[in-house]
Amino acid sequence: MKAILINVVEKKVQKIDIDEFNLLNSLCGFIGNGCSCVAAPVRYDNNDVMFIDDEGYLHENLVGGFYYPDYRTPICGNAVIIGENDEGESMDCKSTVAEIEYNLNWLGDFEIMLAQEQVLSTPPTIISW
């Protein structure tokens, strides 16, 4: 399946092929840094979805990150973007590398450290109905 990788180490956005039959392991492998739990904080108008390491800020050796306009905190670590259909099934990514690059602002090491401190010192928000 066609996807897009946001590689924070190389500060590069690139097309990748991802194993749709072993999707979670494939996502975690591309995200790297010991990822075992993913989150999908950004959904695009074209039904593409950005996956990140849900525990990204808990790692001790953070290697890179970026700001993304549709997400309230900086994103730490690599991200993978795949497509979804109306039933929630995974499919090829519709976004282009140029569209994703346009919205990214890479973080430096100091910014990553500040973002980690901010995220880890902010108590969780609990919402109930």
Q: Quick check: 51 and 40 in contact, CB under 8 A?
A: yes
Q: Residue 81: pLDDT above 90? A: yes
Q: Model confidence at 96, in pLDDT bands (50, 70, 90)? A: very high
Write down the pLDDT at residue 22: 93
Average pLDDT over residues 51-62: 85
Write down the pLDDT at residue 106: 94
Q: Model confidence at 80, in pLDDT bands (50, 70, 90)? A: very high
Write down the pLDDT at residue 115: 81
Q: Residue 61: pLDDT above 80? A: no
Answering whether pTM is above 0.95, one says no
Residues 6+ positions from 112 with CB-CB distance below 8 Å: 62, 64, 65, 74, 76
As a three-state string, the secondary structure of 7-71 is ECCCCEEEEEECCHHHHHHHHHHHHCCCCCCEEEEEECCCCEEEEEECCHHHCCCCCCEEECCCC
Write down the pLDDT at residue 124: 74
Q: Residue 60: pLDDT above 80? A: no
109 vs 96, higher pLDDT: 96
For the chain, give every domain's residue range. 2-121
State the chain's mean pLDDT as an integer: 90
